[in-house]
Homo-oligomer: A and B are copies of this chain.
Amino acid sequence: MIKPRSRRGGGRPTLSDVARKAGVGAITVSRALRDPARVSEELRRQIQAAVDELGYVPDPNARALASARAEVFGVLVPSLTNNVFAEVVRGIYDSLSDSPFRIQLGNTHYSGLEEERLLQLFGSQRPAALIVAGIDQTPTSRKLLENAGCPVVQVMETGPDPVDMMVGFSHLDGGRTATEHLIEAGYRRIGFIGARMDPRSQRRLAGYRVAMEKAGLSDPRLITTTPVLSSVPLGRELFRDALAKMPTLDGVFCNNDDIALGVLFECHRASIDVPKTIGIVGFNDLDMMQVAFPSITSIRTHRYEIGRRAVAMALAAISGDRPRERVVDLGFELKRRESTAR
């Protein structure tokens, strides 16, 4: 006996149900949905009516299988809770919410191996585009990206050798700018405090080094780092370590704002005057920096905008007109605040 409807599908309406109801061929329905311009006004109306009546929703899996291309953006970030990446991801989501594209988000946990695994997995879906954080992919990852057969955008940083496209800014310049600001403000024994020393943090540290050397102020004992994940409590710990090591410290450039906040709190606790005794500079400029007391100088980065821009570039590439600029530097901004106003 022949069942009236597919045994597997669970009875949801399919494209040919719509076609039958609208009295047209299945292919026409497909076209009406994907490229309405190629179907006459009248049929389009009929089809729309049938779609509405049946509550038809296209099956993205079938679509992906038939067209060998999934309407999916693969997005790879090293952390989901770090506000910096959360903002980038939010920018990506907001830019894609009105498009037919779904998002496949992966968390690499700052691990190259994990990144390779996820890239492999994402690749098997033939995504429409890939957005990955950072520019320091392993050789394997890089090869996977090159062979992905879709636009690739590396975000957060700029560098000389994009797989395809890049949006970000120079962390080295950011680190140097922050440090130079402290120097100009009159600080001399300026420490660097950094957690989770990923490649971006390393480059901020490199920027710090450049500035300190140029000013003839460098001293390796001024640098305090740890591979541990960054947090406000950790910022406090590291600052105490730094002070113990170097009691004459009169300024700190912090790897990020969490650390800076931890430093600020410890200063309060230990009755160290900010900015008189110690100057503090953060990185990223979370919105709390401007309300902190004293407000904290920081390097404002354009995370949300990076996400939006990455999507815009990928979308352009998908629709055929690759942007002329393959590498976009969105820069950063030094926000001078009370914590360095000596």
Contact = CB atoms under 8 A, between A and B. Distances in A.
A68 interface: yes
Given A93-B107, A104-B104, A265-B291, A81 B70 contact: no
A80 B89 contact: yes
B68 A9 contact: yes
A287 B231 contact: yes
A210 B339 CA distance: 42
A169 to B, nearest CB: 20
A265 B292 contact: yes
Contact of A233 (B93, B265, B291): B291
A104 B57 CA distance: 17
Given A61-B70, A64-B61, A104-B102, A288 B261 contact: yes
A155 to B, nearest CB: 15
A61, A102, A105, A266 interface centre (most CB from chain B within 10 Å): A61
Contacts of A258: 288
A90 B61 contact: no
B65 A65 contact: yes
Interface in A245-300: 258, 261-262, 265-266, 268-269, 287-288, 290-293
A232 B289 CA distance: 9
Given A80-B90, A81-B90, A149-B10, A59 B124 contact: yes
B93 A61 contact: no
Interface residues on A, range: 35 or more
Interface string A94-108: 100100001111010
A5 to B, nearest CB: 13
A83 interface: yes
B57 A65 contact: no
Contacts of A268: 268, 293
B81 A124 contact: no
Contacts of A104: 102-104
B93 A287 contact: no
A120 interface: yes
A87 interface: yes
A68 B105 contact: no
A323 interface: no
Interface of A: 8-10, 57-62, 64-65, 67-68, 70, 80-81, 83, 86-87, 89-90, 93-94, 97, 102-105, 107, 120-121, 123-126, 149, 231-233, 235-236, 258, 261-262, 265-266, 268-269, 287-288, 290-293
